[in-house]
Amino acid sequence: MTAGPGIVHSERSPQAERDGGGRLYGMQTWLALPDGAEEIEPAFEARTELPVVEDGCARATVIMGELWGVRAPTTTHAATIYAEIALAPGGALPIDPGADERAVMLVGGEASIGGQPLEPYVLTVLAPGAAMQLTSQSGGRVMLLGGEAFASKRHVWWNFVSSSRERINQAKNDWRAGNFPLVPGDSDEFIPIPDQPNPVSYP
């Protein structure tokens, strides 16, 4: 999903499925749009087939961008690396030093990067330009993400991301005023903007 100047969406699970216990295992990731493309047209696409790279005891599904010469069909607007890596016991993979920014997150099992153990669900940012190896003794699942560095920093406030604080304030006012369109087929519930969200500013 590409937000551009603003997009609304709804995430719902039927009550019967929620009552029966969750079965979904996933990760939601936000990728900022690059300089000069922050206000492009909103868009949505669904991909059912993603390329897989396998090498002995390691298997990587390329979700966005390019990894080891394999490119995902997902639309990107800047150089991007985003992949799910499954390491079997004793598995190892080199992490390409070419990207401006790289990070890994352990989401299952056990793994180390450059000999340092990864903590579950902690984003570990890798040193730029350093060639590193991802390894696992007993098997693990790791998300690899990164890509092109932007010249200007990004700000985050609630669900709004922009290089301009003024643009974020405008979006906040537009949401409060009801200027965003309703989600088609899901107009019964409106989520008010919080008075004090957990503000984050990068870098």
Burial class of residue 165 in the structure, from the number of CB atoms within 10 Å of its CB (0-12 exposed, 13-18 middle, 19+ buried): exposed
Name the fold adopted by 52-147: Jelly Rolls (2.60.120)
- The residue extents of the domains of the chain are 52-147, 153-203
Q: How confident is the model at residue 198 (pLDDT cuts 50, 70, 90)?
A: low
Task: Please write the tens of the pLDDT for every residue from 16-45.
Answer: 888 887 777 788 888 999 999 999 999 999
The yes-or-no verdict on residue 118 having pLDDT over 90 is yes
84, 157, 141, 76: which is closest to 109 by C-alpha?
141
pLDDT confidence of residue 200: 54
| Mean of pLDDT over the chain | 89
Per-residue confidence band for 81, with pLDDT thresholds at 50, 70 and 90:
very high
* Separation of alpha carbons 4 and 66, rounded Å: 22
What are 143-194's pLDDT values in tens digits?
999 999 999 999 988 889 999 999 999 999 999 998 988 887 777 777 888 8
